[in-house]
Structure 1
Amino acid sequence: MAQWIGFMVSVETEDKGTYQGVISAATGSEITIIKPFCDGIPCNSSKVILSAEDITNLQLIQKQESSSGESTVTVAKPIPKRAGRTNSCSEIVSASKTNNYNGSYSYNKSKPIDIELKHTSFNESSSFKTGTPNKKDKYKGRWNKGWKDELCFGSPLDHIINKDFDFEKNLALFDKQAIWDEINSQKPDVIKQADYKKSISKYRHDENILTTTPTVYRQIMVPKQEFCEYVTDEGLIIPSIPRSLRNKLWVAAEALGFSWERRIELMGRAAAEMTLQLVGGGHRLNPHNTHQCPTVVVLCGCNRQGAMGLNAARHLASHGVNTIVYLTSADCPEVQKELALYKLTKNKIITAVSKLPQLTDIIIVSLCEESDNPKRYPELAEWTNSNKAAVLALDPPATGTPNVVTRFSLVPVLPLAHATENGKIYLCNLGFPIQIFNEVGIKYKSPFGSKFVIPLHLNDDI
């Protein structure tokens, strides 16, 4: 078997495909080939051992010629046959034969491996006879071009590429700004100035081109600073005022034409607006959702805070809310005026705690005014605390409504130093002009912005 070593061979097997390569060892039971190709694709291993039982056909192609020194064998990559082609895709390259000027041929040391070799001489080619390629040669030229592409790019590279290229890591190594600074540093001063003028940015229509002054967060100054301060969502500081200063503010407002009726109307409307949001807004007050009409209970005392509650109930009734007013007494003039207007809504007015409903959506508490000893209502407090509805207090005392757990409180103009029993504080704008604040020595700038009611948060920085 040693006489077959060095021959180029094409071996067909039953189920492993067709192998081509150079015989490096051969015995009676197996054959070893090096530089193997399987169905035209280079094998990953350097040699392949084939058993005689698997071989169905064996064809010797050519013996490899060896010269002194290292081997110069060039093995072309066979390409698998395409459908409709009888010949192999790998043909003899015209460069394997060089035509001398005297008409003789000089052969290279090796030829490409192919299973079915078709030797085509230059004399058999019609294109060399006539000088004009026929239709058959035209298609043949196209096929050769495609064959070159497949020969170059048809081999699998999965075993070569181990991991993907990290583009982000490579891009991070490139400092664009440093490169541009280096380039600009080499330019003359005249060119630098011209480039600077070109780089001046143009502003859009919605961009501010004027430099703004720093924001002043303390826009309201009071004569006597209390220990409690509040801040808005925008960070503006709202100082609290004592009861005496607020009473002076009411007197100044009354003298300048801002009567209690005006203030009660604005507080009632603000309370109605907050209540509508708390009950669900447009989801509950929808023409297609009349079976879930919200119910609001208003607890009114015999004072100006009670008049605010009646006013809020009237505004809520005008929005279609089912309102129930509990009235302790109607001896106050402001309460009598608002009660007469509320009766026009035809909604309920009760004076007994036992008639209060067990289920309600919101409870508005307007029972007590600011004083050292606010009046207590034990039965109302017990009913309110036993109910699961949210409680909104209108201008409650700074210490809170006695024995009533409040979640929200709505206060006018400037807040008092409210205790935690009043819950979250909301500030209502009564529309006072700046002259009223100047009368009592308050430096004032409106913190409301585009809103009528704003939330306040306790300032923990003081």
Structure 2
Amino acid sequence: MAGDWLGSIVSINCGDTLGMYQGRVSAVDQLSQTISLTQPFHNGVKCLVPEVTFRAGDIVELKILELPVDSRRQTNNQFPENTTGMTTDYINGTAKQRPIETSNAQNIPRRSDARSNDTVGTSPQPCSKSYVDRHSEGVNQPKNFRRRHNSWSSSSRYPNQVTPKKSGPKNGQMKARDDECFGEDLEEIPDTDFDFEGNLALFDKAAVFEEIDTHERKSGGGTGSVPKSRGTPSDRAPTYRHDENILESEPIVYRRIIVPQPGGKEFCTDSGLVVPSISYVLHKKLLSVAEKHGLSVEKRLEMAGICASQMALTLLGGPNRLNPKNVHQRPTVAFLCGPHIKGAQGISCGRHLANHDVDIILFLPNFMKMLEPVTNELNLFCQTEGKQVSNVKDLPDCPVDLVINCLDCHENAFLRDQPWYRAAVEWANQNRAPVLNIDPPVTDQGQGIHAKWSLELGLPLALGEQAGRVYLCDIGIPQKVFREVGITYHSPFGCKFVIPLHSMLE
């Protein structure tokens, strides 16, 4: 009788300690009360040993999953179709038979009906099902068939299975697992690449958009709705950069400074704003009205010195030249100043540059009597490490980094006839260093210093070609002061205090 169960596929529950085992019955010993399974699976994982033997005392429940072929035929002949399957429970060494607990009474499933039972919902335990599927598929499928185990069903069947670590070269078992994991054969991948350009050429984008627009016009003609504009790229809304304003604003007015007495020349800023030049008479009146409202000469000198020093620091190299790691290459700047307000502006600029670790050489001729602003600025400059000389021979023979010219004055044109003035001009032209003019006059400078840059205050004068490139600095004149002298003024400086000006003829 025990031999009838040989070859059956059974599931043995050995409790929480030993777990679940599945396998094919290879031997049943009634005397020693043992049963042996070949090709066993423990908790859904194939055992390393080919055969496992169980004692009756260790078995809590035994379920027959599949009978051998001969026993199944005999069972089908002896029992009717609706007979409920039996299971054997081993409790304390005593074998008892009871019906299998299922929702509907059915026969023991055949090997060919294993998958149909899954669909109906009467499949056995997950661990038992895994063994039946693996065994039946391995028997019935051809040799070159390969299952894919990267789906949910594969990962959920074996929760306790751990992927072995790869150490050393792959053996046959590892290669088989890789083949199962990574899917189909490489021979099935097509050799030719997909032709994206050819496929895209088949799509007529303009024709499709035209058809859509036609359909929308026909469908929305009676409703008064405006169809969406798709069309060609030229008909679309313009694109904007990250620094452009996308909000619609009022039209830009580029001529926002209007003067009653034009100076005969116009400039424009980098943003396109028009800055007209003014005559020296209007410029002098503007400074006089500003001084009456509180913008004293000392404040104007300080603002002019700061703006000129900022421009000079930029011309000298800025942070690339003036940094703690480059102290051995401190720039040298020579100032040529006269005994007037223009010279005081240069002395103020030299003081600020000296405070920024720039070597300053200040040339100022000796006069018995000088203006009070010049004396005050000179006293402040003497508190710095700058060097003051009164003779042109004391100026350096080697080229300096920058020459700042403040020799000329609007009123005192007779200074050009002085020997010290001619000597200073000759030294500047022979030094071959770039020259920056601060508030130069409009008078003809054919015999003067050839400058590369010129810095104007407030509003520019109509300077000649010898003045070089013109810059404009803000010295803090209020807008109502411009209005009082008849100038319609809107600041062109934006976020800066010194801006370049371009001639409108360029």
Same fold, TM exceeding 0.5? yes
Q: Distance in 2 between matches of 1:171 and 1:379?
A: 80
Instruction: Map 1:253-402 to 2 at 5 A.
Output: 253-330=290-367, 331-357=370-396, 358-371=398-411, 373=413, 375-376=415-416, 377-399=421-443, 401=445, 402=447
- 2:249 is paired with a residue whose SS is coil
* AA at the equivalent of 1:327: L
2:421 is the alignment partner of 1:421: no
Secondary structure of residue in 2 paired with 1:345: coil
Q: Aligned ranges for residues 38-49 of structure 1 at < 5 Å? A: none
Q: Does 1:440 align with 2:479?
A: no
Residue 423 of structure 2: SS of its match in structure 1? helix
Q: How does 1:102-117 map to 2 (within 5 A)?
A: none
What is the CA-CA distance between 1:140 and the residue it aligns to?
3.4
The AA in structure 2 aligned to 1:351 is: S
User: Which stretches in structure 2 are left out of the alignment for 5+ residues?
Assistant: 1-110, 114-135, 147-178, 229-241
Aligned to 2:498: 453
Matches within 5 A, 1:63-102: none
Separation in structure 2 between the aligned mates of residue 369 and residue 220 of structure 1, nearest angstrom: 27
In the TM superposition, what is the alpha-carbon distance from 1:164 to its structure 2 partner? 8.4
Structure-2 residue corresponding to 1:86? none
Q: State the match for 2:142 in structure 1.
A: 139
CA contact (8 A) 1:399 1:422 kept: no
Change (3 A) 1:286 1:208: closer
1:307-341 superposed Cα distances (whole Å, 9 cap, x missing partner): 00100010111111111101024523221111111
Q: How many residues align?
A: 319
Match of 1:430 among 447, 457, 475: 475
TM-score of the two chains, using structure 1 as the length reference: 0.61
Letter in 2 for 1:218: R
Please, what TM-score do these two structures have when normalized by structure 2? 0.56
Distance in structure 2 (CA, Å) of the matches to 1:316 and 1:152: 78
- Secondary structure of the structure 2 residue equivalent to 1:275: helix
> Do 2:259 and 2:486's aligned partners in 1 also have CA atoms closer than 8 Å?
yes
Indicate how the Cα distance of structure 1 residues 154 and 335 shifts in structure 2: closer, same or farther if over 3 A, else same.
Answer: closer
C-alpha distance in structure 2 between counterparts of 1:208 and 1:293, whole Å: 42
Question: How big is the shift at 1:139?
Answer: 3.1
Kindly provide the CA deviation profile for residues 368-420 of structure 1, in whole angstroms up to 9, marking residues without a partner as x.
01259464322222221222322111001124654311001111011111101
Distance 1:218 1:356 in 2: 45
Q: Distance in 1 between matches of 2:375 and 2:430?
A: 30
Partner secondary structure for residue 228 of structure 1: strand
- Secondary structure of residue in 2 paired with 1:274: helix
Q: Could you report, residue by residue, the CA deviation over 1:201-235 in whole angstroms, capped at 9, with x for unpaired residues? A: xxxx9996853111111111111223210000111
In the TM superposition, residue 353 of structure 1 has moved relative to its aligned partner by 1.2
Unaligned runs of 5+ in 1: 1-129, 197-204
Give, in angstroms, the shift of residue 263 of structure 1. 0.9
Q: Which residue of 2 aligns with 1:111?
A: none
Name the counterpart of 1:8: none
Aligned AA (1:267) = A
Moved over 3 A (4+): 130-137, 149-158, 163-176, 188-196, 205-211, 371-375, 399-402
State the alpha-carbon separation in 2 of the partners of residues 233 and 360 from structure 1: 30
**Mapped partners of 1:173, 1:210: distance in 2:** 31
Distance 1:374 1:170 in 2: 85
1:433 CA displacement: 1.0
The corresponding residue for 2:275 is 238
SS in 2 for 1:336: helix
For 1:397 and 1:448, locate their aligned partners in 2 and report how far apart those are by CA, in whole Å: 22
- C-alpha contact 1:395 1:410 (8 A) present in aligned 2: yes
- 1:256 CA drift (Å): 1.4
Identity of counterpart residues, as a percentage? 38
- CA shift, 1:285, in A, is 1.8
**Residue in 1 that maps onto 2:212:** 180
CA RMSD of superposed structures (Å): 3.4
Q: Work out the CA distance in 2 between the residues paired with 1:142 and 1:169.
A: 41
Residues 371 and 230 of structure 1: CA distance in aligned 2, closer, same or farther (over 3 Å): farther
User: Tell me, what secondary structure is at the counterpart of 1:450?
Assistant: coil
> Counterparts of 1:171 and 1:382 in 2: how far apart (Å)?
76
Q: Which residue of 1 aligns with 2:63?
A: none
Report SS of the residue matched to 1:344.
coil
**CA separation in 1, counterparts of 2:450 and 2:384?**
29
- The structure with the largest helix share of the pair is 2
CA contact (8 A) 2:217 2:227 kept: no
Indicate if the aligned counterparts of 1:299 and 1:365 stay in contact, CA closer than 8 A. yes
8 Å CA contact 2:220, 2:227 repeated in 1: no
Question: Structure 1's 323 and 155: CA in aligned 2 closer, same or farther, altered over 3 A?
Answer: closer
Q: Once the 2 structures are TM-superposed, how far is the Cα of residue 352 of structure 1 from its aligned partner? A: 1.4
Aligned to 1:36: none
Over 3 Å counting, the alpha-carbon distance change for 1:138 and 1:323 in structure 2 is same
Give, in whole Å, the separation in 1 of the partners of 2:267 and 2:461: 10
Is the CA contact 2:216–2:227 (under 8 Å) kept in the aligned structure 1?
no
Check whether the contact 2:354–2:385 (CA below 8 A) recurs between aligned residues. no
Q: Residues 207, 342 of structure 1: CA spacing in aligned structure 2 closer, same or farther, 3 A cutoff?
A: closer
Moved more, 377-386 or 243-252: 377-386
Matched position secondary structure for 2:502:
strand
CA 1:275–1:152: 2 relative to 1, 3 Å: closer
For the residue of structure 1 that corresponds to 2:475, the secondary structure is coil
Q: Which amino acid aligns with 2:320?
A: H
Q: 1:168 to 1:345 in 2, by over 3 A?
A: farther
Q: What's the CA shift for 1:179? A: 3.0
Give 1:250's aligned residue.
Answer: 287
| 1:140-159 matched pairs, under 5 angstroms | 140=143, 142=145
Is contact 2:267–2:277 with CA below 8 Å preserved after alignment?
A: yes
Per the alignment, do residues 176 and 319 of structure 1 end up closer, same or farther by CA in structure 2, a change over 3 Å counting? farther
Q: 1:172 to 1:305 in 2, by over 3 A?
A: farther
Give 3-state SS (helix, strand or coil) of 1:230's partner: strand
2: CA distance, partners of 1:304 / 1:183: 78
